[in-house]
Amino acid sequence: DIVMSQSPDSLPVSLGERATINCKSSHTVLHSSFNKNYIAWYQQKPGQPPKLLIYWASTRESGVPDRFSGSGSGTDFTLTINSLQAEDVAVYYCQQYYTTPRTFGQGTKVEVK
């Protein structure tokens, strides 16, 4: 199985500042034939299901604010939240869909400093 490791586990950020979450996979998730990275990012607020933010490592889902962006390739990926808003407080998960079983990172809790 591909192991997804996120850092940090907890991230205190002041409102209006940038939050950067890292995700590392134990195996490349870059499909060379399609030149696509099989990585998605989700946001989960307390008591709610996960919400899709980013797919193909950097494509923003419709309706997601442009302060959210994804980057990276191969085994190292980043989710950036520019100018953190109060409503962005949540746990963020990366997920690989390169192979089965699809696996998730352990989550990063973003909170207001």
Partner 1 sequence: DVHLVESGGGLVQPGGSQRLSCAGSGFRFESYWMSWVRQAPGAGLEWVASIKDDGSEKDYADSVKGRFTISRDNGQNSLYLQMDSLRGDDTAVYFCAREAPYGDYLYYFDYWGQGALVTVSS
Q: Which is nearer to partner 1, 16 or 46 (CB)?
A: 46
Q: Which residues contact 95 (CB under 8 A, 6 or more apart)?
A: 4, 39, 40, 41, 42, 102, 103, 104, 105
Determine whether 72 is exposed, middle or buried from the number of CB atoms within 10 Å of its CB (0-12, 13-18, 19+): buried
Does 28 help bind partner 1 (rule: CB under 8 A)?
no
Q: Confirm or reject binding of residue 70 to partner 1 (CB under 8 A).
A: no
Asked if 90 is part of the footprint of partner 1 (rule: CB under 8 A), the reply reads: no
Residue from 29, 50, 70, 92 binding partner 1 (CB under 8 A) = 50
Tell me if residue 86 falls in helix, strand or coil: helix
* Interface with partner 1 (CB under 8 A): 40, 42, 48-52, 55, 61, 93, 95, 97, 99-107
